[in-house]
């Protein structure tokens, strides 16, 4: 579903992303880990067509990331670090908006929105303004909105930042459910306990991918007891500090 | 005090890192001054005139060339009687002069009680129409000799450059923009982004945080003051024979006042959009309308005149005109200065009180 | 089409829920059209004149009474000499000094004694208009005196006909211009603010990652404000008729067509600025600069013909120049679309140019 080959992004002399390569299969939950400043967000922005790669190649949902960035957008959902639903619209109106943007028929949008909201028990609050909804819920709703058009791939950039543990767990069960339906989920995080929910993880340090495997395999390879320790082993050698 | 310096440094870095905004804030006042200093003229000049003359007599040609030679009129060609309305309507000309068939004979008095010339005016702009008609009448009626009986002198601004008028007006506007609008936006922006909370929980007194936000904008305004004064003096040739000390002193007072406005606006709201609308609607428009920047205060109808007294820019612009153009000493603007001081103290007091209220 | 509709519905919902916007777009035109014409009037009335009469003859008496009777001039005082009058002028109590030299009355017909007008040039407009009025009054006065002695060419051979603004009401001249000012402010600022807000709040990121076409997105920012501006235009036109008795001399459709094009131009400029800037501060400062330039250079405030040649050339690169000329011609003179086709073509050209630029400058991919 996603395949990337030797992707590099330069900002002046600074290599934010330094020749990364990986493949993600359909229905996989792919964890994209790294310390702050390791280049995760830059990489995800390239994959979503928000930013242009300096060199390298890649495909997302069968479209070339260099030349077909607008086609990619049709097939992906994206939820960014910063909360970005419209606060002065209701939940329902946000869903209508994004459904419409992806060219869905109004009837289909309503059906899909009803189904998704009922799954998370939010259907009766659908006419609340987003600004009146607590943070934990907003995060879940943002995910729902990113999923409204049944995309092939969903990109989540630090979706659980600032969310309490209980909500995080609920959030991850939503992710797994979505993946079970065949959607590929590409998620960045720096909570290492979350990494263990992923099918496979990559760990990025200083713009390079230093490790890529299932969490269990990585723990075994480094001879430690948790992902946290794997990460600390790798991050110790980082040059960039932030 | 040391902590305050840290905050000032932080604010200055915000501004210095944002090169684009910096360029815009420093460059635009200079552009405005040059553009309007050289381009705008309130004189009535070069009115386009067409002539409708059935007979192209020598005497008529003489009148036309006299007209074309004057600065007031530009001769645009001949029209037929049925084209007069269209020429005026489409705005190609402002005046059509229609000569009678028997122009020569009427003027020489051989045919009494006949009109020799008809001046058809585009009256949509009354000023242009009135002065155009008056001068044409004088020219055609051979009143040239009487016109010679009057000598016109203009005091203080002999070339009647409108630039002289604009300089104080532009300064008055820029300071409100930079100090009030930009300060309030920058404070409210921090509230919106939530970074203000972080600053407010620090052990520094809130008021120092706010003051530190104002210092860089104060300095920016000083740069603007210097650049505009230099342009006024050396590029536009505004005399500035009055007290330089007075000009700077009264400008600084006005800058403080504007900063006070900015603070006041930022205490009223925590949305950038609202801050913007308030400074735009409640500060900008009245300045343009009531301060004498564009339209003379004397022209205001009696009902509206009181409004101009409460607009600080009006007093500032008045004082600056006296100092920069009339060349009065500082003692000549004591009244304006006292009013500005009074307003400044008042605004700052209210702003600080509201600011403290909100924190409690 | 479906995407555009969705986006416009979103804008309308946000607009209606905003606590300020709906009030603003109604209050602003009301305020502007009710107050502004009274302020923007530039027929300077009540110019204060002081006379320093060294002559004290019949003729100087005639001049004095003539000035006293003038509608525009106000006789504020008689002074013994020029210096005492000058002191009053410096105090701002009078704007003009008329100095009549000793012996002027006797010499008027022969020797070159001259009266002098001294005008305070600090306010250039008041100075020049004032001295013009005084000059006209004097010329008429002299002519009368001459005619009474049988020396003058009769003024009666010259007839003045005034088209279009028979009451010579300066307010009527300014109202079309004020409507344009309103369109520039509402149509320019609102889309710019709206777009920059989306940038600052980060909501635009979510749009950028969707397949929305840049033209659809740009249009969704232009169309709602285009409608708002047309409503404001309607409010202004009705008020101008009710309050000032100003009716459109030409066709209302001619005005609507021009306004439709012009709003497109202005809103596109607002969108371009918002696309190019990163923060609210930048956008606002640039927008203000452009609006000031538009207001001052387009002939809305001072005639374009009075500017130096380079400034005139510049003025003809600015869209409002065409709009100001057009609005005044249609509103006051009843000009038709065919009279003003150049203006319409120019506005249409600008609308296409800036509309495309607005879409191009919107970058989905940084």
Radius of gyration for the alpha carbons in chain A, expressed in angstroms and rounded: 18
Rounded Cα distance, C36 and C53, in Å: 40
- pLDDT at res. B10: 74
CB A187, CB A31: distance < 8 Å: yes
Residues B44 and C43 sit within 8 Å (Cβ to Cβ): no
- pLDDT tens digits, residue range B74-127? 888 888 888 888 888 877 888 888 887 777 766 666 666 667 778 888 877 777
The 8-class DSSP code of residue C301 comes to S
Rounded to an integer, the average pLDDT of A120-132 is 88
Calpha distance A131→A113 (Å, rounded): 19
Is residue A100 within 8 Å of C7, Cβ to Cβ?
A: yes
Alpha helices in C122-169 (DSSP H): 124-148
Q: A177 vs A147, A153, A181, B113, C86, CA distance in Å?
A: 12, 14, 7, 102, 90
**Per-residue pLDDT tens for A171-217?**
898 999 999 988 999 998 878 888 888 999 998 888 888 888 888 88
DSSP one-letter string for B259-321: HHHHHHHHHH-S-HHHHHHHIIIIIIHHHHHHSSSSS-GGGS-TTTHHHHHH-HHHHHHHHHH
Q: Output the pLDDT for position A239.
A: 66
Grade residue C353 by pLDDT with cuts at 50, 70 and 90.
very high
Q: Mark whether A and B touch (3+ CB pairs within 8 Å).
A: no
- Check whether A29 has a pLDDT greater than 80: yes
User: Average pLDDT, stretch B58-68?
Assistant: 80
Name the nearest CA neighbour of C179 among C264, C240, C260, C267.
C240
Q: Which residue has the higher pLDDT, B128 or C147?
A: B128
What is the pLDDT of chain B when averaged over all its residues?
78
Ramachandran region, residue C213 (left: φ > 0; alpha: ψ -120 to 50; beta: rest): beta
**CB-side exposure of C305: number of CA atoms within 13 Å?**
18
pLDDT tens-digit series, residues B18-38? 777 788 788 888 888 888 777
**C214 and chain A in contact, CB less than 8 A:** no
- The chain-wide mean pLDDT, for chain A, equals 86
Handedness of CA B84, B90, B92, B93 (dihedral sign): positive
User: Which positions ≥6 away from C191 have C-beta within 8 Å?
Assistant: C221, C222, C225, C267, C270, C271, C274
What's the pLDDT at C152? 47
Asked if C339 and B146 come within 8 Å (Cβ–Cβ), the reply is no
Per-residue pLDDT at A30: 92
pLDDT digits (tens, 9 = 90+) for A215-234: 888 888 888 888 888 888 88
pLDDT value at position B96? 87
Give me the pLDDT at residue C101, please.
Answer: 81
Put simply, whether B268 touches C (Cβ < 8 Å) is: no
Which range has the worst mean pLDDT, B127-136, B181-190, C298-307?
Answer: B127-136
Q: Say if residues B21 and C285 touch (Cβ distance below 8 Å).
A: yes
Higher-confidence position of A143 and C161: A143
What CATH homologous superfamily does B47-155 map to? abc type-2 transporter like domain (3.40.1710.10)
φ, ψ (nearest 5 deg) of residue A6: 60, 40
Domain map of chain A by residue range?
Answer: 2-235
Give the span between the Cα atoms of C215 and B298, in whole angstroms. 49
pLDDT in the model for residue B143: 47
As given in the structure block, the two tokens for residue C167 are 């009451």
Q: Any idea what DSSP says for residue A223?
A: T
Using one digit for the tens of pLDDT, what is the confidence trace for B173-213? 888 877 888 888 888 888 777 777 776 666 667 777 777 77
pLDDT attached to residue B145: 47
Q: Mind giving me the DSSP string for B234-268?
A: IIS-----S-HHHHHHHHHHHHHHHHHHHHHHHHH
Backbone angles phi, psi at B8, to 5 degrees: -60, -40
Complex-level ipTM = 0.78
Domain positions in chain C are 2-40+166-361, 47-148
| CATH code, residues A2-235 | 3.40.50.300
Rounded to whole angstroms, what are the CA distances from B85 to B92, C66, C353? 11, 35, 34
Q: How many CB atoms lie within 10 A of CB A132?
A: 9
Would you list the domain boundaries of chain B? 2-40+162-359, 47-155
C-chain residues near A86 (CB < 8 A): 10, 14, 203
Count how many residues are written for chain A.
Answer: 242
> Per residue in B270-286, pLDDT tens?
777 788 777 776 777 77
CB neighbours (10 Å) of residue C166? 9
| Contact yes or no for A73 and C7 at CB 8 A | no
User: Chain A: residue nearest C203 by CA?
Assistant: A84
- Report which of residues C341 and B285 the model is more confident about: C341
Q: Give CA separation, C324 vs B230, C42, C75, C234, in Å.
A: 34, 17, 37, 17
Token pair listed for A44: 């995800």
Statement: residue C269 has pLDDT above 90? yes
Q: What residues of C are in contact with residue A80 (Cβ under 8 Å)?
A: 202, 205-206, 209
Yes or no, beta carbons of A101 and C210 under 8 Å apart: yes
Question: How close does chain B come to C305, measured CA to CA in Å?
Answer: 6
Band (A242; pLDDT cuts 50, 70, 90):
very low
Q: Which of residues 93-112 of C touch B (CB under 8 A)?
A: 108
- What confidence score (pLDDT) does residue B163 get? 62
Partners of C364 on chain A (C-beta within 8 Å) are 49-50, 70
Q: For residue A10, what are the contacts with CB-CB under 8 A and spacing of at least 6?
A: A16, A54
pLDDT at position C352 over 80 = yes
Three-class secondary structure of residue A24 per DSSP: strand
Nearest to C3 among A83, A84, A101 (CB): A101
In chain B, which residue's Cα lies nearest the Cα of C95? B155
* pTM, entire model: 0.81
Could you count the other beta carbons within 10 Å of the beta carbon of residue C358? 27
pLDDT of res. C268: 94
Cα–Cα distance, C163 to A71 (Å, whole number): 62
Q: What are C101-156's pLDDT values in tens digits?
A: 877 776 655 555 677 888 877 666 677 777 777 877 777 777 677 666 655 455 55
Q: What is the mean pLDDT of residues C334-345?
A: 88
pLDDT at position B240: 77
Q: Is C70 helix (H, G, I), strand (E, B) or coil?
A: coil
Average pLDDT over residues C201-211: 83
Query: Among A117-121, A168-172, C63-67, C168-172, which stretch is predicted with the lowest mean pLDDT?
Result: C168-172
Residues C357 and C336: their CA atoms lie apart, in Å, by: 30
Is the pLDDT higher at B14 or at A4?
A4
Question: What local confidence, expressed as pLDDT, does residue C1 receive?
Answer: 54
* pLDDT tens-place string over residues C6-46: 889 888 888 888 888 888 888 888 988 888 888 877 666 67
Confidence grade of residue B231 (pLDDT, cut at 50, 70, 90): confident
Q: Which tens digits make up the pLDDT trace of A86-125?
A: 888 889 988 888 888 888 888 888 999 999 999 888 889 8
CATH 3.40.50.740, applies to C47-148: no
At B322 the pLDDT is 82
Please check whether residue A69 touches C, CB under 8 A. yes
pLDDT at B144: 46
Instruction: Give yes or no for residue B131 having a pLDDT over 90.
Output: no
Q: What is the pLDDT of residues B321-338, one digit of tens each?
A: 888 877 778 887 888 899
């Amino acid at each position: 579903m996603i395949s990337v080959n030797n992707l590099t992004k330069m900002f002046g002399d600074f290599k934010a992303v330094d020749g990364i390569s990986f493949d993600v299969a359909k229905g996989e939950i792919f964890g994209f880990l790294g310390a702050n400043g390791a280049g995760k967000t830059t990489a995800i922005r390239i994959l979503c067509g928000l930013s242009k790669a300096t060199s390298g190649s890649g495909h997302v949902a069968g479209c070339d990331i260099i030349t077909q960035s607008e086609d990619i957008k049709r097939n992906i959902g994206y939820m960014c670090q910063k909360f970005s639903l419209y606060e002065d619209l209701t939940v329902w109106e946000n869903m209508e908006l994004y459904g419409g943007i992806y060219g869905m028929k109004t009837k289909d949008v309503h059906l899909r929105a009803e189904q998704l909201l009922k799954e998370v028990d939010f259907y009766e609050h659908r006419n609340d303004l987003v600004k009146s909804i607590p943070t934990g819920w907003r995060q879940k709703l943002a995910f729902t909105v990113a999923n409204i058009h049944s995309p092939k791939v969903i990109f989540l950039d630090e979706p659980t930042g600032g969310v309490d543990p209980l909500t995080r767990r609920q959030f991850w069960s939503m992710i797994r459910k979505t993946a079970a339906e065949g959607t590929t989920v590409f998620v960045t995080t720096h909570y290492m306990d979350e990494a263990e929910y992923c099918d496979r993880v990559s760990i990025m340090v200083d713009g390079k991918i230093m490790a890529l495997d299932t969490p269990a395999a990585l723990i075994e390879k480094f001879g430690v007891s948790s992902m946290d320790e794997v990460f600390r082993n790798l991050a110790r050698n980082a040059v960039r500090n932030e | 005090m040391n902590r305050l310096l840290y905050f000032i440094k932080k604010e200055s870095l915000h501004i210095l890192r944002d090169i684009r905004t910096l360029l815009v804030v420093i460059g635009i006042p200079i552009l405005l001054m040059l553009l309007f200093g050289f381009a705008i003229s309130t004189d009535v000049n070069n009115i386009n005139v067409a002539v409708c003359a059935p007979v192209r007599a020598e005497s008529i040609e003489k009148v036309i060339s006299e007209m074309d030679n004057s600065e007031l009129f530009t001769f645009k060609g001949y029209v037929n009687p049925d084209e007069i309305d269209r020429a005026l309507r489409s705005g190609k000309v402002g005046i059509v002069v229609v000569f009678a068939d028997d122009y020569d004979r009427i003027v020489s008095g051989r045919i009494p009680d006949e009109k020799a010339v008809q001046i058809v005016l585009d009256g949509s702009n009354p000023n242009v129409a009135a002065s155009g008609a008056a001068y044409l009448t004088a020219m055609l009626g051979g009143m040239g000799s009487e016109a010679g009986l009057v000598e016109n002198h203009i005091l203080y601004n002999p070339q009647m450059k409108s630039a002289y008028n604009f300089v104080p007006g532009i300064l008055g506007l820029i300071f409100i923009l930079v100090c009030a609008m930009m300060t309030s936006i920058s404070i409210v922006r921090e509230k919106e982004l939530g970074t203000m909370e972080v600053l407010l929980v620090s052990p520094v007194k809130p008021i120092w945080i706010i003051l530190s936000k104002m210092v860089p904008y104060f300095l920016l305004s000083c740069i603007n003051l210097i650049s505009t004064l230099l342009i006024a003096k050396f590029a536009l040739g505004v005399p500035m024979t009055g007290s330089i000390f007075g000009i700077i002193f009264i400008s600084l007072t006005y800058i403080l006042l504007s900063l006070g406005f900015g603070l006041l606006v930022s205490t009223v709201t925590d949305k950038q959009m609202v801050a913007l609308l308030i400074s735009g609607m409640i500060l900008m428009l009245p300045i343009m309308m009531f301060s004498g920047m564009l339209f003379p205060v004397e022209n205001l109808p009696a009902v509206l005149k009181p409004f101009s007294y409460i607009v600080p820019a009006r007093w500032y612009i008045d004082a600056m005109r006296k100092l920069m153009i009339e060349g009065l000493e500082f003692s000549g603007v004591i009244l304006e200065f006292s009013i500005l001081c009074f307003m400044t103290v008042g605004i700052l007091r209210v702003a600080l009180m509201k600011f403290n209220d909100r924190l409690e | 089409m479906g995407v555009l509709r969705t986006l416009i519905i979103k804008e309308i919902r946000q607009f209606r829920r905003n606590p300020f916007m709906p009030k603003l777009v109604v209050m602003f035109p009301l305020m502007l059209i009710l107050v502004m014409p009274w302020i923007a009037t530039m027929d300077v009335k009540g110019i204060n004149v002081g006379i320093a009469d060294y002559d004290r003859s019949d003729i100087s008496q005639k001049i004095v009474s003539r000035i006293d009777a003038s509608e525009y001039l106000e006789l504020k005082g008689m002074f013994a000499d020029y210096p005492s009058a000058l002191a009053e002028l410096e105090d701002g109590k009078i704007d003009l000094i008329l100095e009549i030299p000793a012996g002027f009355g006797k010499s008027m017909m022969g020797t070159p004694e001259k009266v002098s007008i001294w005008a305070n040039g600090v306010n250039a407009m008041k100075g020049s208009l004032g001295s013009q009025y005084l000059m006209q009054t004097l010329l008429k006065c002299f002519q009368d005196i001459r005619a009474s002695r049988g020396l003058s060419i009769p003024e009666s051979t010259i007839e003045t006909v005034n088209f279009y603004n028979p009451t010579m009401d300066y307010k009527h001249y300014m109202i079309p211009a004020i409507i344009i000012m309103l369109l520039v402010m509402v149509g320019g600022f609102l889309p710019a603010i709206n777009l920059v807000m989306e940038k600052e709040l980060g909501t635009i990121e979510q749009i950028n990652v969707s397949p929305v076409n840049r033209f659809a997105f740009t249009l969704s920012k232009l169309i709602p404000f285009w409608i708002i501006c047309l409503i404001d235009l309607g409010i202004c036109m009705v008020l101008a008729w009710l309050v000032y008795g100003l009716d459109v001399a030409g066709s209302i459709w001619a005005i609507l067509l021009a306004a439709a094009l012009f709003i497109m131009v202005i809103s596109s400029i607002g969108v371009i600025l918002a696309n190019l800037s990163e923060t609210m501060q930048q956008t606002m400062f640039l927008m203000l600069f452009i609006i000031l330039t538009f207001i001052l250079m387009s002939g809305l405030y001072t005639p374009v013909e009075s500017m130096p040649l380079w400034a005139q050339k510049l003025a003809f690169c600015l869209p409002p120049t065409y709009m100001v000329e057009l609005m005044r011609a249609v509103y006051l003179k009843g000009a038709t679309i065919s009279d003003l086709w150049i203006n319409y073509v120019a506005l249409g050209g600008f609308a296409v140019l800036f509309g495309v630029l607005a879409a191009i400058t919107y970058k989905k991919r940084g």
